[in-house]
Structure 1
């Protein structure tokens, strides 16, 4: 394929092909190739000395948290060599780069020209070195002082008819301290419009678990993986999205655990692991991970779970008291009999057909679980980003309840979060639907009346932009446009804003699709040394398993004109609220300790925060279900079995199920490179994986150029110029990379209750490529 096949790029969705090469997919992850690729990125971006200095401090007790995923660090000794993965090293290379964007860069590159680049090219330009401003009608960003930037923000916010005309987005990179002051400012300003990245990924988990067990978080610790008998991994690809998890899985296997993998694609990181920190891994010897691989249809997880539960019930009837944990069920649950009556309504053959897995394989899974109670169930967006995402999370809880697999060593629920502090953001009250008790506490401690009306989440914010209800968008990190669904629709909404503001480390597509005015405020990265009043500071983060620990950057920032996120919040608060504020923002601006003292007064579990966070390795937050104590919304100290039907998939005859996936060369919206070596894709991202039988049936060829269509709600969405790649995926199912295919995800197709976009199931038709007409 040649680069001369090109369409006129729109700023939100450039359509351009590169030179695709396809090789055989891998059956193992990591190994020496991972080390080699990571080192190449480090050397190219930051140089040997700066790069290695950062790597040796990443995820260490006296170092800084990786800005990538939220997988926890070991509680005991951490690796003296490398407490990071390939993608963690790539994340460091991105932020430790010595390339920087100054006024000269922005003067030479218009917004329109930058928008013609793909996301990989945009991200590789370097770190933003100074604040820049795009005036109304201008074509280029231009330098602006920090004082003038804050004045523009304050003046604009104060000119709004209502605080609800502004929305304040948060990415999962933001520290606990900055998240707390951010939500505090937003609420003193007068709104709960706080869309955040959790709305896009694990919101179904947060809703489902909070309703079921009383806390929207997992119940396990990392050490539980080393005491378990069975690990079930559903809708998650750890080799790409959480590579350090592979070490935990390897250790679990060495201690005798079995692994059941559930995924529509055979992912390398679920099949095998070559640990580059062991002699065995260096020699190329693979630890085989999945003992059973269940290749489920997209969104067939509910049917699979019910089939397993039904088989376990059958085994329980044959051996009463030997399969289900009746003592746990009696003491901790409600609705057991009604749930069994519900299960009896389903036929196993029908469930097997719905999930796409042979009944014999489902029986194998049930046999692996039948005699065990030390079971950990892990999941990610393959479960949550569906219309029935909340219900499927609760079905996972049902299975754990039957086995008594919560609140004991080696057992529990393990939603694996994506971004490094997305869980901490929510703990710090970044939420558009705050609890009354939380708001009461803010009033008690700070003396102002916080708004009680629920605010906008991500989907609601985009819709409000279109309706003219939002005038200002403030993004604390992240790449909002590329992360959100229905890209063209979202971009059109962003262009209707009066002002868009982004706090960022690097250039991204959200800076290029903007309101009438736009500001980019450059901030320190996680690895940067954060000096306040001449003293090096630290922040803190919460990982997937509820551990809060310090993170202290140590690399010299690439510019003296950067500001940490907490300072940006405090300066914005002073410029906006002025004398009407009841909060001493100057105190918070100068001292993270002062922020942590305030957090300790407001948020349960953070008492003596400044003392506990200084303990090497940090501290665990309270987690009742981890100790077998529940506080469900409906049944108090007992957990109710949830009853839910199977999802209904209404499809036309010519339609396919499509799921969006990440390549191994990216983390969320950050594209590190153009290869997905585990799946055998090189130098291209605009591909669609199809079952070979589907390719033949549709009269396509390997390498055929096609366009993808979605017509949800009567509106045609088109993603043009994709390459057909025959792949091992269930018939009738397809996969495309995120964010290239986000244009197909309908803004109004969302998960029930959580309002999460259904990025993991889009119904599409596929046609041979036709050049767009302009």
Structure 2
């Protein structure tokens, strides 16, 4: 496209001209430290982050090394910790002063900035305010409402915040009640991984561990923004690059974390500001063009094998461990270079350069983020990445593997202990043996299905264990309008957020402990646990005093609601489980013995304990018993664009944001400051469409289903992007994404590839 260089920044558009990390990162932390009026306890908690018997960060799911750095936290982790430790309080006086209608006019940043919740609050539809209630009153009313409705009309949502103990009880509660409607935050981001890796290599999670990055020769990144999403990863990448590992990145946007990095814990680097270059090659491909890139790289590998038989492919591995290679070979060879270049937005020479790096490496890791999963054909993205790795045996040996980088700190772990809508997520035979319950046979609803049920009047109750579900969902305006029709809405939360402002007929906000808070129960201080992106389990012990004596743990809240809903049963002693979390971990071990052997004994093991992964051992739990190649039917991960669609929209998170939490209005690592009501577009595309820098426009969804979806008042900002695409912030642009515009197999919303048109104001 004119004006766009896929391997070089357009100097006429904004870009952060400093490395990731460095002084900019420290200034970002200092700003939040001051804004939140942080106290000495904050420094104590930060010093303990991600250390054995310390506090496990509530931000990303990156690994906690056995030998931590002096400061084992990043800018994002520090912001999340200080945000939680704020002395500000959203107490009963706050809600008395502000009606729900008033609070709907507040920005997300200001809502959470009001501070920590301190008391159970019940919505009064007469006054329009939340009013203070008691815990026993809350449990009794919620229990009555749930017990009175058919189980299949209740939905239990979980964000990735709650520890394994609360998540396990939540999953058990739902099944004991009689349903499996357990949508989770992974439904919005990495469910594509859970569904499709299971089909291709027999595991729903990545195959790498932290140790693999010590021996890999090349790393290929697809659709991942390490600098903003998991900055501690940059330490690992820096060390890998220093020993000679080669990094190649494919992303429509140039993200600073994968360009260069200054380690804030390296005094010499900080003094000289001499950065480590991370990516040897950085290619800005078209949205959805990853399939074409990987097809092109596979063509190069096949051509090299034809020229040097037996020297390029791992023939022994392919024969012994895979199926479908010949069909895939034929499909890839049938694609022409002209169509590969058109679909990818890259030249043949660029793709050949990447392929040379791949073929020159003995051990390769493939890394990806939501740039691969949040597409209509996300399954094909993952299938092609698996294909590429399988060709040279790059799964199932040290220094190799496929590695999704998870966002929320325990989103993977919650699924491991049963939070999910499928019967396979929690073994029915063990539930019968342990608790005498007959689990439901009908599969439950994921997030998209649950919201479709809400719109169709098939859902009466939504319980949210953390998170800001209404803000995270696609089709937000339609869902917000339907939400007050619920009979019951319950939010377990640390701070107020937008989801609380659309109460059902009976609505409660229940304040819970944060990861940093001490959790004292009848038998003394308690630890919770979580799983990282590499399938390692860690214990976490809070250190700060809770924001009020009325705040309870997520374990206590889940157990309190369950006890009030279900008939009393000595096999489910909810109060006893709350008193001692060791007993819950014993139950987790009994339910999932292969993953959690000696759980309590290993809880605080430095570096976490590994629960294992069969694909890492080249044991393929697929239908065929082998790793399965994916035959590509086409070259794009995008859905079919309707006639009249001008652009593909990519949604983004800023450097000052974690999921739906907005810490501020600085997107420093992209060179953007100020408001979030912007649309990024290349100058060449702006000129082609007759638009101007700073002009206010409306984005309208080009998909036609009889519903008009648009977001107005957006300011155009010229930015270095491929042609025919625009970018803007999540969650502000979620109203443009139809609920049924999602990945075909997992129903993950296609936030990274929405066809839109631009309307001048």
TM-score tier, shorter chain, comes to over 0.9
Among 539, 542, 559, the alignment partner of 1:570 is 559
Mapped pair 1:69 → 2:76: no
User: Match of 1:56, SS?
Assistant: helix
- Work out whether residues 522 and 580 of structure 2, in 8 Å CA contact, stay in contact via their aligned partners in 1: no
**1:229 is matched with which residue?**
217
Q: Deviations over 1:417-446 (max 9, x none)?
A: 110000000001111012187122211221
Mapped pair 1:624 → 2:621: no
Q: Deviations over 1:611-664 (max 9, x none)?
A: 1213333210021111222211x211x112111222354343452000101000
**1:508 is matched with which residue?**
497
CA shift, 1:43, in A, is 3.5
Q: Deviations over 1:362-398 (max 9, x none)?
A: 0100110113230000001100011111121111111
Mapped pair 1:547 → 2:539: no
After the TM superposition, list the runs of 4 or more consecutive aligned residues in structure 1 that deviate by more than 4 angstroms. none
Q: Which runs of structure 2 are paired with 1:712-751 in the superposition (5 Å)?
A: 712=703, 713-751=705-743
Mapped pair 1:670 → 2:658: no
Q: Deviations over 1:451-510 (max 9, x none)?
A: 110111101111111111111110000000111101101112212211211000011000
Aligned pairs, how many?
743
- Work out whether residues 448 and 582 of structure 1, in 8 Å CA contact, stay in contact via their aligned partners in 2: no
Q: Which runs of structure 2 are paired with 1:445-460 in the superposition (5 Å)?
A: 445-460=434-449
Mapped pair 1:390 → 2:379: yes
Structure 2: how far apart are the matches of 1:185 and 1:631? 29
Structure 1: how far apart are the matches of 2:702 and 2:297? 34
Mapped pair 1:481 → 2:473: no
User: Match of 1:367, SS?
Assistant: helix
Structure 2: how far apart are the matches of 1:413 and 1:706? 40
CA shift, 1:50, in A, is 1.8
Structure 1: how far apart are the matches of 2:352 and 2:366? 18
- Work out whether residues 206 and 404 of structure 2, in 8 Å CA contact, stay in contact via their aligned partners in 1: yes
Over the aligned positions, Cα root-mean-square deviation in angstroms equals 1.4
Structure 2: how far apart are the matches of 1:499 and 1:135? 13
Structure 1: how far apart are the matches of 2:253 and 2:219? 18
Mapped pair 1:400 → 2:400: no
Q: Which runs of structure 2 are paired with 1:298-447 in the superposition (5 Å)?
A: 298-435=287-424, 438-447=427-436
| Distance change (3 Å), C-alpha of 1:158 and 1:437 | closer
CA shift, 1:597, in A, is 0.6
- Work out whether residues 52 and 604 of structure 2, in 8 Å CA contact, stay in contact via their aligned partners in 1: no
User: Match of 1:228, SS?
Assistant: coil
Structure 1: how far apart are the matches of 2:706 and 2:34? 50
- Work out whether residues 182 and 445 of structure 2, in 8 Å CA contact, stay in contact via their aligned partners in 1: yes
Structure 1: how far apart are the matches of 2:409 and 2:351? 34
**1:7 is matched with which residue?**
none
**1:493 is matched with which residue?**
482
Mapped pair 1:97 → 2:86: yes
- Work out whether residues 436 and 452 of structure 1, in 8 Å CA contact, stay in contact via their aligned partners in 2: no
Q: Which runs of structure 2 are paired with 1:109-120 in the superposition (5 Å)?
A: 109-120=98-109
- Which sits farther off after the overlay, 377-386 or 430-439? 430-439
Q: Which runs of structure 2 are paired with 1:134-283 in the superposition (5 Å)?
A: 134-160=123-149, 162-283=150-271
**1:8 is matched with which residue?**
none
Structure 2: how far apart are the matches of 1:437 and 1:68? 26
Mapped pair 1:78 → 2:72: no
Structure 2: how far apart are the matches of 1:200 and 1:422? 11
User: Match of 1:414, SS?
Assistant: strand
- TM-score calculated relative to the size of structure 1: 0.94
CA shift, 1:23, in A, is 5.4
User: Match of 1:223, SS?
Assistant: helix
Structure 1: how far apart are the matches of 2:426 and 2:483? 34
| Distance change (3 Å), C-alpha of 1:424 and 1:46 | farther
Structure 2: how far apart are the matches of 1:538 and 1:42? 26
- Work out whether residues 199 and 628 of structure 2, in 8 Å CA contact, stay in contact via their aligned partners in 1: no
Structure 1 spans left out of the alignment, 5+ residues:
1-21, 770-774
Mapped pair 1:660 → 2:651: yes
Q: Deviations over 1:140-191 (max 9, x none)?
A: 000000000111101111121x101110000001100000011001110110
Mapped pair 1:612 → 2:602: yes
CA shift, 1:223, in A, is 1.5
Q: Which runs of structure 2 are paired with 1:453-472 in the superposition (5 Å)?
A: 453-472=442-461
User: Match of 1:361, SS?
Assistant: helix
Structure 1: how far apart are the matches of 2:92 and 2:267? 49
**2:752 is matched with which residue?**
760
Structure 2: how far apart are the matches of 1:319 and 1:616? 46
Structure 2 spans left out of the alignment, 5+ residues:
1-12
Structure 2: how far apart are the matches of 1:62 and 1:582? 31
Structure 1: how far apart are the matches of 2:588 and 2:510? 25
User: Match of 2:16, SS?
Assistant: coil
Structure 2: how far apart are the matches of 1:148 and 1:275? 51
CA shift, 1:320, in A, is 1.2
- Work out whether residues 46 and 96 of structure 1, in 8 Å CA contact, stay in contact via their aligned partners in 2: no
Q: Deviations over 1:295-345 (max 9, x none)?
A: 111111111111110111111111112211111111111122121111121
- Which sits farther off after the overlay, 46-55 or 469-478? 46-55
- Which sits farther off after the overlay, 682-691 or 24-33? 24-33
Structure 2: how far apart are the matches of 1:513 and 1:42? 31
Structure 2: how far apart are the matches of 1:760 and 1:620? 32
**1:583 is matched with which residue?**
572
CA shift, 1:526, in A, is 0.4
Structure 1: how far apart are the matches of 2:749 and 2:425? 26
Q: Deviations over 1:53-85 (max 9, x none)?
A: 11001111120111010011123x1012x1010
CA shift, 1:580, in A, is 5.6
**1:51 is matched with which residue?**
42
- Which sits farther off after the overlay, 574-583 or 677-686? 574-583
Structure 1: how far apart are the matches of 2:700 and 2:119? 41
Structure 1: how far apart are the matches of 2:126 and 2:401? 55
User: Match of 1:449, SS?
Assistant: coil
- Which sits farther off after the overlay, 570-579 or 547-556? 570-579
| Distance change (3 Å), C-alpha of 1:688 and 1:601 | same
User: Match of 1:495, SS?
Assistant: helix
